[in-house]
Structure 1
Amino acid sequence: MNGTLIDAVGWWSELRKDEPAIVTQDDQLTYGELASWAGAAAEWLVAKGLKPGERVTILATNSLAWCVMSQAVMQAGGLLAPVNPRFTVSEASHVVGRYEPAFIFYDQDRAELAAAIGKSAPAIGLLPLSIVDEFRHTKPSGRKLDRGIDADTPVVIIGTSGSTGYPKGVVYSHRTMLGGYADFAIADARAAHHPRVMMFGPLCTSAGYYVLMLALVLGGTVFVEDSFDPVKALKRIAEDKISILMGVPVFFERMAACKEFAGTDMSSIRQLQSGGARVSRELLITWMGKGLVFQQLYGQTEAGGCATINPVASAVEFPEKCGRGMPFTRLATIDQDGNFCPPGVPGEIVIKGPAVMVGYWRDPEATAKVLVDGWLRTGDLGVIDEQGLLTMLDRLKDIIISGGMNISAAELERVISVFPNVLEVAVIAAHDERFGEAPLAVIFAPRGIDIPALLAHCREQLSAYKMVRYVAISEEPLPRLAAGKISKPALRKQYANAHLVLDKLG
């Protein structure tokens, strides 16, 4: 794969010039309009002094301007380094300090946040994202920008959920992204043909940016949502003929719970993807009543977001399984010594394929720990059966998936552990009817805890979506494994019904 994402999107800008490429709630762009607008903005970035490989941060919620600026940065040879717009000053400053961007483009609601970041990094150019609007009707010069871009040029840094306490930056290149899209297109040619995809994920994540580029590379249309609303989603499915619908199970549960669900025409859907948690038998039956079969997927940011999707043929009989990989992607499990496990024996899931990341941004040590002998060590526990089908058993990295957003238990534990009277803390997932999961902090504090003060402390350090929703105070030390680590399996069993007996906070 020696081409670039720019080549692929450029191809469609000629072939599907008048077809919609990106649609938002109140605006849309054809492929021809996207090419012209992004091209003009790219020339402006070069004129502003952006050098090849320099980072450009977007600090904003999903919007048409976000999408256009991301294309402009790519064409200008910059490295897109978005930051979660829900981050606090502390969180955002930490990430920006590692990326060292030349520019930060912010939306109106993030102006104060950008200014606060800028105080500690005065060399960064702070600009409103709305500045890209000035180039919407400006025709680019037509001269090809000579920026030295090839298949191995890094395209974007996507932040992980930070399972070790701080988010890492996963680097994708043109080659890794195109390799993943080729895998997808060959695995399901029908779904990949000019897909119409509804995108709920924040553009700063793989569930956002990677999906955006998937639709554009395949000549499809991406419908960019700024948030998830089940009624609006059902309306979009019917009116805009969505062909690929993807999300975490709680999204599908909320749509199924709407009175509009029964009357929604879903005949356009070619692929129904779900990941992050298992789909219940009840939910499977509900959507099968609409003639649709859930295809469970498994992946992580380091593998392009999706390493395997359960084919329809096996999804009906084995709905809990995640498939056997992709045409160019291999799955296996290994034991603690790094030996491959035989069928039926649980082990750490490892992945080898074209979509696996280049590495972590400026972190060769962490990269070397997970990229071993050509395999990505996921840190997740799974088992592969005799047919080669994967079942994901547990998230060894302690990620809580709440409303489709990944929350690092380690990050919450780091923040809570420094609060007065906290001797031990473990954060696990509690059931939540609205978001699927919510963080539960189990705290060993024999002298007690001022919970309102603890929550205030957390708000200063953490984004609102990461906030602990349940707190359990233990008068005894937390259970531990033989190796000395806190036993989260024991805590999960002990607090399995925490959502029924504890008051929800916030």
Structure 2
Amino acid sequence: MRLADYFDAAASLYPRNIAFVDHGQHIDFAQAQRLVHATAHALIAEEGLPPRAHVAIYSPNDYRVSLLQVAANRAGMVWVSVHTRNAIETNLAVMAYADCDAVFFHSAFANLVPAMKAGLPRVRRFVCIDAPSAFGPSLADWIAPWSRPFVAPPEQATIPAMLQPTGGTTGPSKGAVHTNRSLEMALISVFETLGFDAASRVLAVAPLTHAACMLTLACAARGGRTVVLDGFEAGKVLECIEREGITHLFLPPTLVYALLDDPRLGATHVASLRCIAVGAAPIAPEKVKEAVRRFGPVIYEVFGQSECLFPVVAKRPEDYLLSDGSFDEVALASAGRAVPFARVEILNEDGSVAGPGVKGEIVVRSTMVMQGYYRKPAETAEVSTGGWHHTTDVGVKDERGFITIVDRKKDMIVSGGFNVFPSEIEAVILSHPAVLDCAVIGVPDQKWGEAVKAIVQLKPSCSESGESLKVVLAQRCKDALGSVKAPKSIEIWPELPRSAVGKVLKRDIRARFWEGHWRAV
């Protein structure tokens, strides 16, 4: 079935269930379905939009983002995700590359619409999703003539449904095209892995235009409730968990660390939580232990990519918690095991599947894998060699099937002829209680070629001297990993640069140290 078919099934079963809570507004499934169907009618009736139009959604977190995604799917169109934290120039490049035909924008970004209209001549329609606007009709007015059920044609499983840009803050890079079939399998994987049902209550904090939308859409497809926040603030998140009885939450590791460091956590009732799904980057094992102590056995880790959605690999509490309450350290350090709907292996350099304990590239086969990169056949062929999706992540798989992500191929440091993978150094640094986050990179060095350098962000509550802490962290790494892998230098920054979805931007950090050098590695 299509995403929209799952949503209609939930609306049929639970019409009076609350589907979304947003700034005190409660929207039940019957109301949500009416908006979806009317929007689908309006999209198809809109003069000038092609049958499989590409529809961009340019908005902060708002319940209408999820409903527009469902509406585009109901109309047989393709939604294009736009990261609002990117510069407008970057997003113009993204939307131009994606051949967008219509743009739904939030009033918070109305000031950017003139630049969009000037830079995107292909776009036929701009609609403001939340308010009247001088730059296009409001969504409410635009769909008002179409308030009736939408009868969908039979599903076409292999037509595109979503275009997810894979670039960061510097350009459009590539866009992963997902079909009705791959989107459906991702929903099923989320259902099975994270345990959604009609009693589920998701707190949407991470951007709904990116990976977090999969939790919201999966929750809606099961008849559950999503509570929307338009940004992360630890106190508001904790208060919302307690007030709304939140069961599911998706966060990148850095925001989990921020919750753990907030003094209000101890006084917050969090017993409703069933799942904190951590994704976008690996979470340090010591932080998982701390999170289990503070939140209970509800910490999941999910691994995926724009190209294969998520989860294709998952780590559940039962994977790393032993019957006596202690931790299985090997499982804890891993990303988890392949979910039932994906085959995940480690590949040797010659393209053969590696045996247990052998380091190589992590590859995936699954219905969740994208159809390809939009208008980039050469790049699609390269990443699909041998019938596998090549993640460019380096990992090891053990006899039990646990996959440990060692690093990304492009992040590897070659220091004095030795291959050094930053993630294992970062794990040691993150185990120190004063550290909020860190990034380890290679910097130019006349003797070593590349020297290992750590950039550290401390917790706001840290009272230790920065200089003394550098010495402690360097020795900690040396004791745990040896002198080759220990950082040759450490810097403490007030903030690490991050992408629109909270990932630390190592390329931006590296650029500061490699500028003016004839090589970048």
- TM superposition score category, shorter chain reference: 0.7 to 0.9
Which residue of structure 2 lines up, in the alignment, with residue 262 of structure 1? Answer: 266
Tell me the distance in 2 between the aligned counterparts of 1:23 and 1:45.
Answer: 25
- Provide closer, same or farther for how the CA distance between residues 329 and 283 of structure 1 changes in structure 2, counting only shifts above 3 A: closer
Residues 323, 389 of structure 1: 8 Å contact kept:
yes
Residue identity opposite 2:273 in structure 1: I
Q: Which residue of 2 aligns with 1:336?
A: 349
**Alpha-carbon distance change, 329 to 13 in structure 1, aligned in 2, over 3 angstroms:** same
Asked whether the 8 Å contact 1:330–1:352 carries over to 2, the reply is yes
CA distance in 2, matches of 1:177, 1:241: 28
Counterpart residue identity of residue 107, structure 2: Q
**How far apart, CA to CA, are the structure 1 residues paired with 2:105 and 2:226?**
22
Do residues 174 (structure 1) and 213 (structure 2) align?
no
* CA positional deviation for 1:158: 1.0
2:22 alignment partner AA? T
CA distance in 1, matches of 2:150, 2:319: 50
1:294 corresponding residue in structure 2: 299
Superposed displacement of residue 68, structure 1: 2.8
Tell me, yes or no, if the aligned pair for 2:37 and 2:150 is still in contact at 8 Å: no
Amino acid at match of 1:19: N
State the distance in 2 between where 1:60 and 1:475 align: 35
Deviations 1:80-126 (A, max 9, x none): 11322223232122112211222122222323323213213334123
8 Å CA contact 1:183–1:329 kept in 2: the answer is no
Q: Is residue 2:106 matched to residue 1:93?
A: no
1:387 is matched with which residue? 400
> In the alignment, which residue of structure 2 is the partner of 1:449?
none
Deviation at 1:372, TM superposition (A): 2.8
Q: CA deviation at 1:309?
A: 1.0
Deviations 1:130-154 (A, max 9, x none): 31133687773335144x6422232
Q: How does 1:98-497 map to 2 (within 5 A)?
A: 98-125=97-124, 126-130=126-130, 131-134=138-141, 140-146=147-153, 149-162=155-168, 166-187=172-193, 190-192=195-197, 194-205=199-210, 207-275=211-279, 276-282=281-287, 284-316=289-321, 317=328, 318-398=331-411, 430-433=455-458, 468=508, 472=512, 477=517, 486-487=520-521
Segment drifting more, 123-132 vs 99-108: 123-132
2:9 to 8, 11, 15: 11
Counterpart AA for 1:140: S
Q: Relative to 1, partners in 2 of residues 1:192 and 1:312: Cα closer, same or farther, differing over 3 Å?
A: farther
C-alpha change, 1:282 and 1:162, in structure 2 (3 Å) is closer
CA distance in 1, matches of 2:231, 2:251: 12
Quickly say closer, same or farther: Cα 1:64–1:135, change in 2 above 3 A: farther
Q: Secondary structure at the match of 2:149?
A: coil
Cα deviation for residue 380 of structure 1 reads 0.4
Q: 1:312 to 1:288 in 2, by over 3 A?
A: same
| Secondary structure of the structure 1 residue equivalent to 2:139 | helix
Give the fraction of aligned pairs with identical amino acids, expressed as a percent: 24
Q: Which consecutive unaligned segments of at least 5 residues does structure 2 have?
A: 131-137, 322-327, 413-421, 424-439, 441-449, 461-496
Query: How many positions carry a matched residue from both structures?
Result: 432
Distance 1:473 1:391 in 2: 29
Aligned partner letter, 2:386: D
Q: CA deviation at 1:289?
A: 4.1
What do the CA deviations read for 1:359-394 (whole angstroms, capped 9, x no partner)? 111111111111233321000011101111011111
Q: Deviations over 1:300-335 (max 9, x none)?
A: 111113211113222221222122211121110112
**Does the 8 Å contact 1:284/1:293 carry over to 2?**
no
CA distance in 2 between counterparts of 1:268 and 1:12 reads 23
Deviations 1:191-250 (A, max 9, x none): 556422222222221x23222212122222222221111111111111211112221222
| Deviation of the 1:67 alpha carbon | 2.7
Runs of 4+ in 1 over 6 A off after TM superposition: 135-139, 425-429
Q: 1:34 and 2:32 equivalent?
A: yes
Unpaired stretches in structure 1, ≥5 consecutive residues: 402-408, 410-424, 436-457, 479-484, 488-506
8 A Cα contact 1:296 1:321, kept in partner: no
* Structure 1 CA distance for aligned equivalents of residues 45 and 345 of structure 2: 48
From the superposition, tell whether residues 283 and 182 of structure 1 become closer, same or farther in structure 2 (CA, over 3 Å): closer
Q: CA deviation at 1:164?
A: 9.9
Matched to 1:274, the amino acid is V
Query: 1:297: how far off?
Result: 2.3
**Partner secondary structure for residue 43 of structure 2:** helix
Alpha carbons of structure 1 residues 429 and 306: separation in structure 2 relative to 1, 3 Å:
farther
Q: Which residue of 2 aligns with 1:77?
A: 76
